[in-house]
Amino acid sequence: MKKYLLSATLLIAVCISAKAQFSLGIKGGVNYSTIDNSNLKSSSVAGYEVGAFARLGGGIYLQPELYLSSSGGQFNSSDNTFNGNVHFTNLNVPLLLGIKFGPKNLNLRIMGGPIYTSVLSQSNNFSQNFNAAYNDFGKYSNSTLGYQAGAGIDIGAITADLRYEGNLTDINPNYGQRQNLWALSVGFKIL
């Protein structure tokens, strides 16, 4: 994570010194996350995200972000004898490359790139017989690497994004669990 923050800081410094277009803003929104599992039925849970972003460049831009989010999933066995849910609080660091088009005060954007997620805390609740049937099920990784892809719109200083996030690494390698989510956020450019 230190490499991501150092790289983002250096990139921001280079772009500012080169007098590139630069904006800084805050954002917040909702997400719907699922943890896929081949052995159990999964369902989505609602979460939040709140943080900051920087946008560097003109028609083609780089957008590093840093935000806090909640995510998780619910699980049921096919006969509903085992069930459980898990919730995570995460620190997310995406680095998105995007293209924007349209007039200055009303433009559309598409973007994509990698995201590093660090799990700050987790809580889970499994039925009594769940852990006996699925040993090590709640042993989740402390971090994951994934990707985000989506589209957005800017209207003056207001920005809105819809993104899909998938994981390249398992949140629980013992059971092949991968988290994915849809996120809708609204932001405000302060610089």
171 vs 24, which has greater pLDDT? 24
- pLDDT above 80: residue 111: yes
- pLDDT above 90: residue 14: no
Residue ranges and CATH numbers for the domains of the chain are 2-189 (2.40.160.20)
d(CA 67, CA 49): 6
DSSP state, residue 13: H
d(CA 187, CA 167): 24
Percent helix, strand and coil across the chain, each to the nearest 5: 10, 65, 25
Do 112 and 164 form a contact (C-beta atoms < 8 A)?
A: no
Q: Which residues contact 45 (CB under 8 A, 6 or more apart)?
A: 32, 33, 34, 71, 72, 73, 74, 85, 87
Residue 158 is predicted with a pLDDT of: 97
Give the rounded percent of residues in the chain with a pLDDT score beyond 90. Answer: 58
Using only the alpha carbons of the chain, give its radius of gyration: 18
The pLDDT tens digits of the residues spanning 121-164 come to: 998 887 766 665 566 666 788 999 999 999 999 999 999 999 99
Do 51 and 66 form a contact (C-beta atoms < 8 A)?
A: yes
Residue 32 is predicted with a pLDDT of: 96
- pLDDT above 80: residue 71: yes
Do 106 and 100 form a contact (C-beta atoms < 8 A)?
A: no
Residue 130 is predicted with a pLDDT of: 66
Q: How confident is the model at residue 52 (pLDDT cuts 50, 70, 90)?
A: very high
Q: How confident is the model at residue 24 (pLDDT cuts 50, 70, 90)?
A: very high
Give the rounded percent of residues in the chain with a pLDDT score beyond 70. Answer: 83
pTM: predicted TM-score of the whole model, two decimal places: 0.84
